[in-house]
Structure 1
Amino acid sequence: MDCVGVHNLQALSALLSAQQDDDEDDEECKNVPACARLDPGHIGPPLKKDKEVTTAYVKKNSKDIWSEEEVAEGSQYDDLADQRPQPEYEIILKQSVGTEDLFLGLSGKDPSSMCCEAMLVKIKLPNTKATDVVLDVKEKFLDLRTPQYKLGLHLPHPTHSHGGKAQFFSEREELEVTLPMNRPMDFINMP
């Protein structure tokens, strides 16, 4: 059985005690081995005290045209200077269900999102006319602009943007965008 020696206890005490002036530390640790005086702050190269340490990004290459601080994080479609508010929206997944699916279960469809064929995006646009709406739909991004609102929406699933349709309901002041979902493995997932 190993006994804890006085030297080991002194080394542990020196390691756990708060650092004081360098002079006091030298006096306390005369009998402690050098490796016991190390703490996590001693890992890595020693800090240079004559140079000021800065956290600013330094260009690595002289051919860099901007630094990391100059590049805004987020969507490539975001316009930070545009202060228009984002309208309320809702994403609903849709599937075509017939009586053979509902009562007999012949097609193998279930209520999960894996069996959905289309995505419906409902966007509330109060005080907006249909002629004011500018809509651009990519495979995974919907960009909507009106004089009062802007919406840059990353879609949860890839879509066939060319097969979609949009309808504006003036009485509800709501735009409905229906997009067929692009699922490359649908022939396996759905019979």
Structure 2
Amino acid sequence: MAGLFEGSFVSEFQALSQLIRTEEEHVDTSNVSKPTPASIGPKELLNVKVPAPKARKDPKAIWDISEVGDWVEDDVDDGRAVPEYEFMYKQAVGSADVYLGMSGKDESSGSCEDLVMKISLPAVNTMAELDLEVKSSYIKLNATAYKLSVYLPHTVMEERGSAKWDATKKTLTVTLPIVREGELWSAGATQWRTQWRRGGGNPVIPSCAPTQMMYSAEASTTRCFIHPV
């Protein structure tokens, strides 16, 4: 009796094994993708914040952009034009310079005492439209039709400067003494503002030294040179 049960159990087990093996052989594995390196890890990407790359610094730059002063702001374009302008250098010379050249002065900007800036303003109708601000390192001009903010090529003595308006040529001429190395002059803490009064006349420069340049008694003439800046 026991042998009968054992034989029946063995035959059923063999039949079940054969059935499982047959089903595995008929499974279609052609559409099953094989594992790749990309299948390792979570299927959804993690929201990781990546820091922005730092801007490269120019090794030839004298100042870093964060060190440059913002006293001349980047004005938003409001439709006003930037006027044409040019820089010149003025030099005081005497008879010894003209005929003998004893002082050693030449035509370079290093031998000139004054920086002259000429600004062409053909659309200006009245002097009341002009508002000029001068500091030791830059000039700002505002008018009805123009706007100008420009750095100067040299440090200047703004308190001893002068400005002249030519109504015929519609040109503003600003003359500023140049600060040279070794000169005992503090040229960074003060500013002067020139404004024109309605009705014409020369510009009023409040709390400033006389606008006439203080040359030596020997000086008899001036020379002007145009240099690229």
Q: TM-score, normalised by structure 2?
A: 0.49
Aligned residues: 126
Aligned counterparts, 1:58-77, within 5 A:
76-77=72-73
What's the CA shift string for 1:25-52, capped at 9, x where partnerless? xxxxxxxxxxxxxxxxxxxxxxxx8425
Unaligned runs of 5+ in 2: 1-35, 38-44, 55-68, 185-229
Amino acid at match of 2:96: E
What's the CA shift string for 1:61-104, capped at 9, x where partnerless? xxxxxxxxxxxx97633322533211000000111122311221
Q: Give yes or no for contact 2:162–2:176 (8 Å, CA) kept in 1.
A: yes
Amino acid at match of 2:110: M
- Aligned with 1:110 (options 106, 110, 124): 106
Residue 186 to residue 107, structure 1, CA distance change in 2 (3 Å):
farther
Measured in 2, the distance between the counterparts of 1:80 and 1:56 equals: 28
- Aligned with 1:156 (options 153, 156, 176): 153
Q: TM-score, normalised by structure 1?
A: 0.58
- Aligned with 2:85 (options 89, 96, 115): 89
SS state at 1:97 partner: strand
Unaligned runs of 5+ in 1: 1-21, 24-48, 58-72
Residue 141 to residue 157, structure 1, CA distance change in 2 (3 Å):
same
Measured in 2, the distance between the counterparts of 1:80 and 1:127 equals: 21
Amino acid at match of 1:115: S
Percent of matched pairs sharing the same residue? 37
Aligned to 2:166: 169
Q: CA RMSD in A?
A: 2.7
